Chain A
Amino acid sequence: MAKLDRLLNLVAALLDTSVPLTAEELRTRVPGYPEGDDAFHRSFERDKDDLRELGIPLETVVVEHHEQPRSAYTIQRSRYELRDPGFELDELAAIHLAATTIQLEGLDPDDVEEGLRKLGGLGPTGAASARTAADAGPVGALPVPDPLLDLFEAVVERREVSFPYAGGDGERHVRPYRLQFERGRWYLTGHDIDRDDKRSFRLDRITGGVTSGEPGGFDPPDDVGGVQLRPWELGEGDPTPCRVLLDPGVAKSVLVEHPDLHVVERRDDGTTVVELAVRNPVALRNFVVTMLDHAEVLEPPELRAEVLEWLRGFEGASR
């Protein structure tokens, strides 16, 4: 396989060199390129594309020490080499098993084994149990919306990003801190540079391509926090504390879904009182009415009155 030999030797030459090499220099150092200038350049261009496709950080620099400036190429080891995380075999097996049960839609399933080989192996016990798990089919599937890979790279490499977002004009400029998959959707949380505030974005509402800045463009804060899936808390100003009584049946589901809710009281009859921080009364109302007659806003009186007034509007509507 002539092409494979050539690619291996090309990678070796580029990793070994301390100065960037021009195409002509590589042509003399790497055997296997076709005769003739045009054929060589076509092959060389394809090889560069293939290496970049594999994620090899092939860099182009312009060298001036020739009569005319020319492009030269290098691979920096610090950007090529995987840090050694010192995996034990059972740890590789655990990741392998996890990756066979969770499928990322649209990505090549071979990425799992190729990634694990770089990390040090699939794990012998893992290979067997992963096959058993794979026979049963994946347990879960995660969607991979278009911007996800770019944003993942940006989060890991701390690159600023900009992207067009539904419901607004122009691009949003964001320092991306964190990606979260919750309730079936991907969210990005970060610092919105123009608004100078922390914001969360739904990836399925990003309407175009993501442009990324240079790696190491910012330092994320220690406590990033995540997307806020308690809609009644969203809004401006100080929150109003609001107590809601939950019947025994719904209380359990609500607390499973929102484990951080502040429980004020568990009564002997099995009902539970929770306290919510409300900035958005409409969202509070929506939350409460979806529990039908199994929940009740207790206080403050203004919020209770708002719910009652809303419900009375439906009585009139039936006539």
Chain B
Amino acid sequence: MKRVTATERLQRILAVLPWIVQHQGATVDQICERFGLDRKGLLEDLELVFVEVGLHPFTPDMLTEVTIEDDRVYVHVGDYFRRPLRLNRQEALTLLAAGRAVAARPGADPDGTLQRAVDKLGRALGEGAAERVEVVLGSADPDVMAAVQQALQTRRRLAISYYSYGRDASTEREVDPLRLISREGRWYLLAHCRSAEGERMFRVDRIRGAEVLDAPVDAHESSEDVVPGPHGGERTVQLVTGSDAAWVADTYPTDEVEQLPDGRLRIVLPVTTTAWLERLLLRLDPSTEVTDTSTGESLRPVAAEAAARILRRYGA
């Protein structure tokens, strides 16, 4: 067990003692369970408070009185310890951000227990505090989110219609859901995809429809650390473009970013699918030079073909 420092114990005693004082006669077990303490630790804390804590000149009337009878605890202490210490900012941020994040999940009950708890936490921190911190873990269609959560809870198979952004195509798949995860402000469903016969991360906001099936999920060995994103077929692309394209390096993972003597930027980055590259190039100036770093081939025709396709749609 890790060693508890004096300040950690101080913090614990300042938090728990006021509750014990207000709930005279609570049993040692009740206190331990409520505060997540072990019996030995709690008894040591109470003993210390009993023997050592009080006010100058430490005459009996100035000392703390602790009685334990039939496992019930009675504490009398000066009113200086009548309320717990305020939350410090780390504690306040941790609890409030987590509470707000989970309460804001698509489909969460706006009048549920957690929302009531978050409102109270806000009042404890200061008027309006809860509303002034907002955490969005990801956007999702509430119906899709509800189906995903139901499938996870009941361990049933899920049929999804999934839009692959990289390939710019929709597919119908059956998946065995494993976990729901938020990363970088997006919800992902980690699932065993029966079509791909392997674990995949699906962005929940790209699941266009989801239906919980009757079939239960199969057991799968879950692997650690499946990262979201494209599956293979990666190539490395070099862009030489205007300095106003610095946002590219801000937004996407890059291998190299360099400012050239003429002021333009040279950016080297991995690209997984043609549709993704098309979207990137159509947002950069048409004069951008783009080459495949392994073949040296110019990829400008990729942008030209995409532009032509869109122009056809406009009938132009």
A residues sitting closer than 8 Å to B (CB atoms) are 1, 3-5, 7-9, 11-13, 15-16, 28-31, 50, 53-57, 77, 79-87, 89-95, 97-99, 101-102, 104, 107-108, 111-124, 127, 136, 139-142, 144, 148-149, 152-153, 155-158, 177-185, 220, 224, 226, 249, 252-253, 256-257, 259, 286, 289-290, 292-294, 296, 304, 307-308, 310-318
Contacts and interface: CB of A to CB of B under 8 A. Distances in A.
Given A115-B95, A318-B300, A80 B6 contact: no
B95 A314 contact: no
B98 A311 contact: no
Contacts of A314: 281-282, 286, 303-304, 306-308
Given A4-B10, A85-B124, A226-B134, A124 B88 contact: no
Interface in B76-117: 78, 80-95, 97-99, 101-103, 112-114, 116-117
B72 interface: no
- Give the interface residue-count category, chain B: 35 or more
Contacts, number: 335
A142 B100 CA distance: 12
Contact of B19 (A30, A57, A121, A136): A121
Given A81-B83, A85-B123, A292-B278, A156 B310 contact: no
B170 interface: yes
Nearest to A182: B136
Given A55-B85, A293-B309, 17 more contacts: A1-B48, A8-B48, A15-B80, A54-B10, A55-B91, A117-B84, A136-B179, A155-B132, A156-B92, A157-B126, A180-B135, A181-B97, A249-B208, A253-B208, A259-B139, A289-B283, A292-B278
A290 B11 CA distance: 53
B120 A86 contact: yes
A56 B286 contact: no
B163 A253 contact: yes
Interface string B127-145: 0110111111101110000
A119 B88 CA distance: 12
Nearest to A287: B283
Contact of A116 (B95, B136, B141): B95
A117 B135 contact: no
A139 B182 CA distance: 6
Contacts of A111: 88, 90-91, 94
A218 B33 CA distance: 42
A260 B6 CA distance: 52
A226 B183 CA distance: 21
A148 B134 CA distance: 13
Nearest to A298: B314
B86 A81 contact: yes
A319 B168 CA distance: 26
The A contact surface, by secondary structure, is helix
Contact of A180 (B84, B134, B168, B206): B134
Interface in B270-316: 275, 278-279, 281-283, 286-287, 300-301, 303-314, 316
Nearest to B119: A85
Given A8-B49, A54-B10, A104 B34 contact: no
Interface stretch (B52-60, B233-241, B259-267): B52-60
A82 B88 CA distance: 10
Given A85-B123, A142-B101, A296 B313 contact: yes
B220 interface: no
Contacts of B232: none
Please give me the 5 A-B residue pairs with the lowest Cβ-Cβ distance, nearest first. A55-B88, A115-B91, A318-B304, A184-B184, A140-B182
B127 to A, nearest CB: 9
